[in-house]
């Protein structure tokens, strides 16, 4: 009996130890799951930051603003967010990210109007806690009374406020002082990208040439065509503009399109008179324009015919298999007449010839 009791005691001890080991193992499993969740969360944060950094690395203003809206929304776990830009005496909705049917995003916000307006007026990040009190639960309970939960000014490095980012819907778990600090950090981060983009636009606006195509740029076309129109109206001088359309060019692969446009640019410059000016045109479907000072409609048509003949002779419009006419060159001509009041009327005549 003593042996049986001793064996039973040992079995009980083994079972107890097994239960203890199982309990310890479960603790270890729980710790592993927690660690895995933290790793996944950290990886997700890193991916968000990486993608956000890429979205802010652009000199295109529209792409930058869109990337900023998407990046901020993702980082803050916002269900609905928007970006407002300044327009005269108010803030106008530029773009929003929201689920279908979400209707709590105003189209316009006036200075000091609500949380969004105050964020711009006070030049700082504001949340419901600034609007309804410092207690998070109490402030959150009042969220339906406000158009935004969180808002902050989008600035240049000069201090100029160009817009306001606003969060209109998010989970309670992500609302608090941490979200305010995070938005402040994101806005500071974006400030450098915005400033670089605006600086690039300002520098570009002062340039008059397109170095890639070796012609004058769109801004020069706008200013010079207006100047020549005024001169013609003042001194009754002839003035013509030739618009060059290349249907199908935009569908080419980027490298081939660039080589093609460079070739056409060289043709236009070689065929034009010394006093003519070859420029880019603002419309992507009309890549080039030729300003012909003191030129009548007949002279413009003569030069336009020369462009067409040279284009066909050089085979610039041939397809990859050598087939002719794959990319046609179309000419539109507008000339000054005394009954015209604005240069846009002259350009409209040139565009009409494409129809």
Q: How far apart (Å, rounded) are the C-alpha atoms in residues 232 and 234? A: 5
pLDDT per residue as tens digits for the range 18-53: 777 677 666 666 655 554 444 444 444 544 554 555
Average pLDDT, rounded, for the chain: 84
263-296 CB burial, b ≥16 within 10 A, e <16: ebbbbbeebbeeebbbbbbeeeebbbbbbbbebe
Q: Which of 248, 336, 322 shows the shortest CA–CA distance to 287?
A: 248
Quick one: pLDDT at residue 40?
Answer: 40
pLDDT per residue as tens digits for the range 116-128: 999 999 999 998 8
Quick one: pLDDT at residue 143?
Answer: 78
Band of the pLDDT at 288, cuts 50, 70, 90?
very high
Q: How far apart (Å, rounded) are the C-alpha atoms in residues 125 and 178? A: 12
Residue 324 has pLDDT above 60, yes or no: no
Six-digit token string for 63:
């792409």
Band of the pLDDT at 98, cuts 50, 70, 90?
very high
pLDDT per residue as tens digits for the range 160-217: 999 999 999 998 777 878 888 889 988 988 898 898 888 888 877 777 788 788 899 9
Lowest model confidence (mean pLDDT) among 141-145, 233-237, 298-302: 141-145
pLDDT per residue as tens digits for the range 246-258: 998 888 888 999 9
Lowest model confidence (mean pLDDT) among 2-6, 49-53, 107-111, 124-128: 49-53
Q: How far apart (Å, rounded) are the C-alpha atoms in residues 260 and 316? A: 7
Lowest model confidence (mean pLDDT) among 75-89, 159-173, 239-253, 315-329: 315-329
Residues 6 or more apart whose CB falls under 8 angstroms from that of 172 comprise: 140
Quick one: pLDDT at residue 44?
Answer: 46
- Total-model pTM: 0.57
Quick one: pLDDT at residue 325?
Answer: 55
Lowest model confidence (mean pLDDT) among 3-7, 194-198, 265-269: 3-7
Residues 6 or more apart whose CB falls under 8 angstroms from that of 164 comprise: 83, 84, 91, 109, 116, 119, 120, 151, 152, 153, 154
Residue 302 has pLDDT above 50, yes or no: yes
Q: Residue 74 in contact with residue 94, Cβ under 8 Å?
A: no
Query: Nearest 5°: CA angle at 73, between 71 and 74?
Result: 65
Q: Where are the alpha helices (DSSP H) in the chain?
A: 2-55, 61-75, 114-122, 128-132, 136-141, 177-206, 218-235, 254-271, 297-314, 343-352
């Amino acid at each position: 009996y003593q042996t049986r009791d001793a064996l039973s005691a040992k079995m009980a001890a083994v079972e107890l130890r097994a239960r203890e080991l199982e309990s310890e193992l479960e603790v270890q499993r729980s710790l592993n799951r927690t660690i895995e969740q933290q790793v996944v969360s950290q990886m997700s944060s890193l991916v968000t930051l990486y993608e956000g950094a890429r979205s802010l690395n652009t000199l295109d203003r529209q792409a930058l603003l869109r990337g900023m809206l998407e990046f901020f929304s993702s980082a803050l776990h916002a269900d609905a967010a928007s970006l407002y830009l300044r327009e005269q005496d108010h803030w106008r909705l530029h773009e929003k990210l929201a689920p279908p049917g979400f209707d709590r995003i105003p189209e316009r916000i006036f200075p000091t109007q609500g949380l969004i307006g105050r964020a711009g007026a006070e030049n700082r990040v504001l949340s419901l806690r600034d609007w309804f009190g410092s207690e998070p639960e109490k402030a959150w309970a009042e969220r339906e009374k406000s158009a935004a939960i969180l808002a902050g000014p989008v600035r240049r490095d000069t201090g100029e406020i160009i817009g306001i980012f606003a969060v209109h819907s998010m989970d309670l778990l992500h609302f608090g002082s941490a979200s305010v600090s995070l938005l402040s950090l994101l806005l500071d981060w974006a400030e450098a990208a915005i400033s670089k983009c605006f600086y690039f636009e300002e520098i570009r606006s002062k340039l008059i040439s397109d170095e890639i195509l070796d012609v004058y740029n769109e801004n020069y076309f706008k200013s010079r065509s207006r100047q020549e129109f005024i001169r013609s109206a003042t001194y009754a001088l002839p003035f013509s503009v030739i618009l060059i359309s290349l249907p199908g060019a935009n569908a080419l692969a980027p490298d081939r399109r660039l080589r093609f446009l460079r070739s056409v640019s060289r043709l236009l410059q070689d065929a034009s008179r010394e006093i003519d000016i070859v420029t880019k045109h603002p419309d992507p479907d009309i890549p080039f324009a030729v300003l012909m000072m003191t030129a009548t409609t007949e002279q413009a048509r003569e030069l336009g015919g020369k462009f067409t003949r040279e284009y066909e002779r050089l085979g610039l419009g041939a397809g990859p298999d050598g087939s002719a006419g794959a990319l046609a060159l179309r000419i539109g001509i507008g000339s000054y007449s005394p009954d015209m009041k604005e240069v846009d009327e002259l350009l409209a005549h040139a565009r009409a010839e494409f129809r």
